[in-house]
Chain A
Amino acid sequence: MQNGQGARKHTIAVLVENKFGVLSRVAGLFSARGYNIESLSVGETLDPTVSRMTLVVRGDEFVIEQVVKQLHKLVDVIKVIDLTKENHVERELVLMRVNAEPQHRTEILRTADIFRAKVVDVTPTTFTLEVTGDESKLDAIIELLRPVGIQELVRTGKVAIARGSKTARRRPEERLGKGPDAERRRRELTNQLDEQSRDPRVVGFAD
Chain B
Amino acid sequence: MKLSGARIVLESLKREGVDVVFGLPGGAVLPIYDALYDFPGPLRHVLVRQEAAAGHAAEGYARVSGKVGVCMVTSGPAATNLVTALQDAYMDSMPIVAFTGQVPTHLIGNDAFQEADNVGITRPCTKHNFLVKDPKDIAPTIKEAFYIASTGRPGPVHVDLPKDILIKQADFDYPETVHLRSYNPTYEGHPGQIRKAAKAIMRARRAVLYVGGGVIASDAAAELMELAQLTRIPVTTTVMAMGAFPSDHPLSMGMLGMHGGYAPNMAVYNSDLLIAVGARFDDRVTGKVEFFAPQAEIIHIDIDPSSISKNIKVHIPIVGDARRVLAKLKGFLLEEGAGDPPAATREARDSWLRQVLQWQTKHPFRYDWDDELIKPQYVIEEVSNLTRGEAIIVTGVGQHQMWAAQHYRFRHPRHWLTSGGLGTMGYGLPAAMGAQVGRPDRLVVLIDGDGSFVMNSQELATIVENQLPIKTVIINNGGHGMVRQWQDVIYGGRFCSIDLSASPDFVKLAEAYGAVGIRAIKPNEVVPALEKAFATPGPVVVDVMVDKDEYCFPMVPAGGANKDMLLEKPNKEVKAKAAKSQTGF
> Footprint of B on A, CB under 8 Å?
16-17, 20-21, 24-25, 28, 32, 62, 65-66, 69-70, 72-78
Q: Which residue of A lies closest to B119 (CB)?
A: A21
**Residues on B with beta carbons closer than 8 Å to the beta carbon of A20:** 131
Q: Which of A24, A66, A73, A78 contacts B123 (CB 8 A)?
A: A24
Q: Mark B174-198, 1 if CB is under 8 A from A, else 0.
A: 0000001111000000000000000
With A69-B305, A75-B180, A78-B182 known as contacts, the answer to whether A32 contacts B124 (CB < 8 A) is yes
**Residues on A with beta carbons closer than 8 Å to the beta carbon of B310:** 66, 69
The majority secondary structure among interface residues of chain A is: helix
Q: Which size bracket describes the interface of B in this complex?
A: 10 to 19
CB within 8 Å of A: which B278-316 residues: 304-306, 308-310
**Residues on B with beta carbons closer than 8 Å to the beta carbon of A74:** 182
B306 and A75 within 8 A (CB) = no
**Residues on A with beta carbons closer than 8 Å to the beta carbon of B414:** none
CB within 8 Å of A: which B148-180 residues: 148, 180
Question: From residue B318, how far is it (CB to closest CB) to chain A in Å?
Answer: 15
Pairs A–B under 8 Å by Cβ, sample size 27 = A21-B119, A21-B123, A21-B131, A24-B123, A25-B123, A28-B123, A65-B309, A66-B306, A66-B310, A69-B305, A69-B306, A69-B310, A70-B306, A72-B305, A72-B306, A73-B305, A74-B182, A75-B127, A75-B128, A75-B148, A75-B180, A75-B182, A75-B183, A76-B128, A76-B182, A77-B182, A78-B181
Q: Which residue of B lies closest to A71 (CB)?
A: B306
Question: From residue A74, how far is it (CB to closest CB) to chain B in Å?
Answer: 8
Total number of residue pairs linking A and B with CB closer than 8 Å: 38
A70–B309 alpha-carbon span in the complex (Å):
12
B40 within 8 A of A: no
B342 within 8 A of A: no
A24 and B120 within 8 A (CB) = yes
Question: From residue B162, how far is it (CB to closest CB) to chain A in Å?
Answer: 14
**Residues on A with beta carbons closer than 8 Å to the beta carbon of B128:** 75-76
**Residues on A with beta carbons closer than 8 Å to the beta carbon of B180:** 75
Question: From residue B283, how far is it (CB to closest CB) to chain A in Å?
Answer: 15
**Residues on A with beta carbons closer than 8 Å to the beta carbon of B127:** 75
Q: Which of A17, A32, A65, A69 contacts B182 (CB 8 A)?
A: A17
Q: Which residue of B lies closest to A22 (CB)?
A: B182
Question: From residue A93, how far is it (CB to closest CB) to chain B in Å?
Answer: 29
**Residues on B with beta carbons closer than 8 Å to the beta carbon of A69:** 305-306, 308, 310
Q: Given known contacts A28-B123, A69-B308, what 12 new A-B pairs fall within 8 Å (CB)?
A: A21-B131, A24-B120, A28-B124, A32-B124, A66-B306, A73-B305, A74-B182, A75-B128, A75-B182, A75-B183, A76-B128, A78-B181
A65–B308 alpha-carbon span in the complex (Å):
10
CB within 8 Å of A: which B255-273 residues: none
A73 and B306 within 8 A (CB) = yes
A65–B317 alpha-carbon span in the complex (Å):
14
**Residues on B with beta carbons closer than 8 Å to the beta carbon of A17:** 182
**Residues on B with beta carbons closer than 8 Å to the beta carbon of A24:** 120, 123
**Residues on A with beta carbons closer than 8 Å to the beta carbon of B305:** 69, 72-73
Question: From residue A77, how far is it (CB to closest CB) to chain B in Å?
Answer: 6
A21–B131 alpha-carbon span in the complex (Å):
9
Q: Which residue of B lies closest to A68 (CB)?
A: B306
